[in-house]
Structure 1
């Protein structure tokens, strides 16, 4: 397969998992190359996500690495074989790469958790709310650039709005619901949208009120995307220097624990809905 110029986060993740298998087997890159009848450069490119490989060849590699985890091998083989070029590819070169990587990650996710404390999570945002947010954060952007970002965010909602949606759970702090990102009318419409989506069987919305005691997790905002196996989960976090995709097993365990703690601090879904309705009436 030809060398990729810019591998996606998913392709890089597959390569990284293969590197972990090789290292667990105690093999150097040159050892793996000899087993596969190729050279060290090719192995390096595969592990960097710069070169693809077939499902059959991946299974051969796993056998050479004496990997006995059949579920993991099957999941990695599926990643290697699935070369879907989804709707997000329309934005390549038009939006930053992390936007595309997030959409691809969501497309392949088995479930999704969100925790947010200052803004409504992206999958629940109305178009007007998203536009006000992008316009404020990036005031120098021309209107067409804001339009692209809003359009992309609205299209990402397909994972919870399609006929076979993934399970989605989000924990939102009261602060995020009270901040008028746009107009008062836009905020009221946004709360109505959150309530509407929360009625779906596959969507769970929980609220943390200001009055909640013992909650110190406001720095735990995250997007948690479930993979085919817990080892292949991914956490996405926005930082001052851009978007970070976290996939180290120890870190995944830490974020799973953090989400459970945040969830434990929230109201049950019915009480959360009642709380949001009361907030909406105050506007």
Structure 2
């Protein structure tokens, strides 16, 4: 079987998990390979995501590595068996490989936790806002609308977004577009599976909030993935240290942010500032 020249995030993560488990079991690559009738170099290619592994050999390796968590094993088997195709396949060549990886990751997720510093999260953007952000690129806009089905269609994922107040002040598209965008955030918050909090400027604690990120929660916590956004592109992290660090960071951001958007509280007196009150204040200053 020819080795892959382009490796998707799913394929890379599948191999990385096998390598992590093997090293955790204290097995050399040549010894692990011998268990399934292959040489060390062949198993190294699998661990690098350059080629796949059939289910029977995967089961043999997982047994040898001592990892018997049923949910994890099932999820890893599905990751290895997937052909990587989905609605996003039609956009190959029109969006970045990282964007395709994100769409595929979201398709297998159970929930999403997002922190944004300067932009409204893509999954919550209205079309006119996206048009400005994506410079009017029709294919990219269509891709973003398709991604939004993850939190709007039947069986939608739970989506928890912490948005820095700075993103609400940037008037992309002008006041009218931003007013529409703010109204859309309020409407989205009424859905039971969407939680939105605003991190205000007055937050005095620094929590390394200079980089946007999203945690894609998988069917097993060990298979969660952290997506970090950078000016030069996106990067994915699934190692245990990164997962621990960013879960902790998101929990801290939640605690520092204003109480979640809750339209029902508009009918009662509001003593403390909350996310709804801040959005309404900003809306009427546009």
* 8 A Cα contact 1:98 1:243, kept in partner: yes
> Structure 1 276/38 Cα, relative in aligned 2: closer, same or farther at 3 Å?
same
- Equivalent position to 2:171, from 157, 169, 180: 180
* 8 A Cα contact 1:172 1:207, kept in partner: yes
- Equivalent position to 2:280, from 260, 270, 277: 277
* 8 A Cα contact 2:84 2:104, kept in partner: no
Q: Please report how far the alpha carbon of residue 259 of structure 1 lies from its aligned counterpart in structure 2 after TM superposition.
A: 0.7
How far apart, in 2, do the equivalents of 1:90 and 1:79 lie? 20
1:139 matched residue in structure 2: none
2:62 matched residue in structure 1: 62
2:37 matched residue in structure 1: 37
Deviations 1:136-183 (A, max 9, x none): xxxxxxx6xx22222211211111011001111001122111110112
Give the alignment of 1:193-232 within 5 angstroms. Answer: 193-232=184-223
How far apart, in 1, do the equivalents of 2:34 and 2:200 lie? 59
Q: What are structure 2's unaligned runs of at least 5 residues?
A: 263-273
1:250 matched residue in structure 2: 241
1:165 matched residue in structure 2: 156
How far apart, in 1, do the equivalents of 2:39 and 2:220 lie? 31
* 8 A Cα contact 1:215 1:265, kept in partner: no
Q: Please report how far the alpha carbon of residue 2 of structure 1 lies from its aligned counterpart in structure 2 after TM superposition.
A: 5.5
* 8 A Cα contact 2:207 2:249, kept in partner: no
1:16 matched residue in structure 2: 16
* 8 A Cα contact 2:53 2:80, kept in partner: yes
Deviations 1:67-102 (A, max 9, x none): 344433222112223335111111222322101001
1:71 equivalent in alignment to 2:71: yes
* 8 A Cα contact 2:156 2:193, kept in partner: yes
Q: Please report how far the alpha carbon of residue 210 of structure 1 lies from its aligned counterpart in structure 2 after TM superposition.
A: 2.1
How far apart, in 2, do the equivalents of 1:230 and 1:220 lie? 23
Deviations 1:198-233 (A, max 9, x none): 110000001122233335543152111111222211
With 252-261 and 262-271 compared, the bigger mean Cα shift is at 262-271
How far apart, in 1, do the equivalents of 2:71 and 2:107 lie? 20
How far apart, in 2, do the equivalents of 1:45 and 1:93 lie? 26
1:138 matched residue in structure 2: none
How far apart, in 2, do the equivalents of 1:114 and 1:24 lie? 30
* 8 A Cα contact 1:226 1:234, kept in partner: yes
State the aligned residue count.
274
SS of residue in 2 equivalent to 1:67 = coil
How far apart, in 2, do the equivalents of 1:54 and 1:12 lie? 16
How far apart, in 2, do the equivalents of 1:37 and 1:59 lie? 13
* 8 A Cα contact 2:172 2:178, kept in partner: yes
Q: What are structure 1's unaligned runs of at least 5 residues?
A: 136-142
SS of residue in 2 equivalent to 1:214 = coil
With 270-279 and 88-97 compared, the bigger mean Cα shift is at 270-279
